[in-house]
Amino acid sequence: MSPITHSVKSYFRGLAGIAIKLIANPVDFFRTMPKSGGLVDPMLFMVITVLVDVIMMFVESFVKHGAGAYGFGVLVGSLVIVTLIAVILSYFVAGVFYAIWSFMGSNENYETSYRCIAYLHIVVPFTILLGIVPYLGLLGIAWWLYLVVTATRAVHNLPAKPALLVFGIIAVLAGLAYYNSVSSAIRAKEHMQEFTRELQKMPGTNN
């Protein structure tokens, strides 16, 4: 094994270790998270989770609609486009949260806020997986709220109650948007099924 290959494998094992620690012990993870060291490592962690997001959505769409509508070319294009958009948006979102944390009294800089936001993205793949069952994705939003409050306490040294209030509002709005989206999809599916049944009742219409 070449030194480069060994280094790459070690790096990805390190990212996997971060994900495991985030899931198993988020309080300890954020308490010991380096607050400096550049944006590359947290950004790459986020990029990998975004790639997992896209692949999971592709698999779900493939199961529901087949390969004709969601081919390999669509997957590759989605991986590139969604990743680029996610990287660009991550800097903006980190800026918004940096402003929120600063307003709440944090003395940490933008880099620290970006690191928190990048690692919080661990929630998204699990939310997509939970979303296979209608409305279960709300648990992912609740988990995000727990993680962001944990980061607020452990990294920014701010009390939990104001964090729960501020980020709870964001979580509630996201939950309502998710709930309405799932409800609309379910209603649309029911209407389509009803329309199909009525169409099949028409004379001369094959099943």
Residue at token pair 């452990």: 154
The stretch 169-196 carries a mean pLDDT of 83
pTM of the model: 0.81
Tell me the two tokens of residue 66.
Answer: 């087949």
Q: Is the pLDDT of residue 15 over 80?
A: no
Specify the range with the lowest mean pLDDT, choosing from 34-48, 50-64, 127-141: 50-64
Tokens of 22: 């985030």
Phi-psi region of 159 (alpha: psi -120 to 50; beta: other; left: phi over 0): beta
Check whether 69 has a pLDDT greater than 50.
no
Domain boundaries, the chain: 19-200
CA–CA separation, 116 and 182 (whole Å): 28
The beta strands (E) that lie in 46-147 are given as none
pLDDT bin (cut points 50, 70, 90) of residue 95 is very high
List, in order, residues 6 or more apart from 37 with CB less than 8 Å away: none
- Percentage of the chain modeled with pLDDT above 70: 80
- Of 6-10, 22-26, 94-98, 189-193, which gets the smallest average pLDDT? 6-10
**CA separation for the pair 189, 185 (Å, rounded):** 6
User: 188: how many CB neighbours lie within 10 A of its CB?
Assistant: 10
